[in-house]
C-alpha cells in the first residue's frame, strides 16, 4: 500500500526508492508490468468498493445511479491506468 501511495502522491520518492540515486537503474517495461500485476488487486479493488459504496449511497437517498455507465467507467479507468502506468510509469 505504501508503494501505491508513493506512486500516486509522491512519484519522486517512489522513483528514488525504485531506481538508484544516480538514476542508473531504470525499470524496464517487464519490470513495470510485474510491479503493476503485484499491485493489481489494490488497483482493481479500490474502485470497485468505492463504486459500490457510492451507488448504494445514492440508492439509499433516492438519487438515480446509472450502474452500467458507472461500471464501464471503472473498467475503462482501471484499464487505461494500467496501460498508462505500463507505458510511462516508473
27 within 8 A of 90, measured Cβ to Cβ: yes
Question: What is residue 78's predicted lDDT score, i.e. its pLDDT?
Answer: 87
What are the residue boundaries of the structural domains of the chain, listed by start? 2-88
- Residues composing the chain: 90
Residues 6+ apart with CB under 8 A from 4: 39, 42, 43
- Give 70-90 pLDDT, tens digit per residue: 999 999 998 888 788 777 765
Tell me the C-alpha distance between 52 and 83, whole Å: 24
- Give 2-41 pLDDT, tens digit per residue: 766 776 777 677 667 666 555 566 667 677 777 777 878 8
Amino acid at each position: 500500500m505504501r508503494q501505491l501511495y508513493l506512486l500516486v502522491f509522491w512519484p519522486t520518492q517512489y522513483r528514488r526508492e525504485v531506481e538508484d540515486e544516480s538514476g542508473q537503474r531504470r525499470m524496464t517495461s517487464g519490470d513495470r508490468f510485474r510491479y503493476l500485476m503485484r499491485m493489481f488487486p489494490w488497483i482493481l479493488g479500490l474502485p470497485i468498493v468505492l463504486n459500490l459504496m457510492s451507488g448504494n449511497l445514492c440508492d439509499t437517498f433516492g438519487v438515480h445511479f446509472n450502474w452500467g455507465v458507472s461500471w464501464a467507467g471503472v473498467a475503462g479507468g482501471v484499464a487505461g491506468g494500467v496501460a498508462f502506468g505500463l507505458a510511462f510509469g516508473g
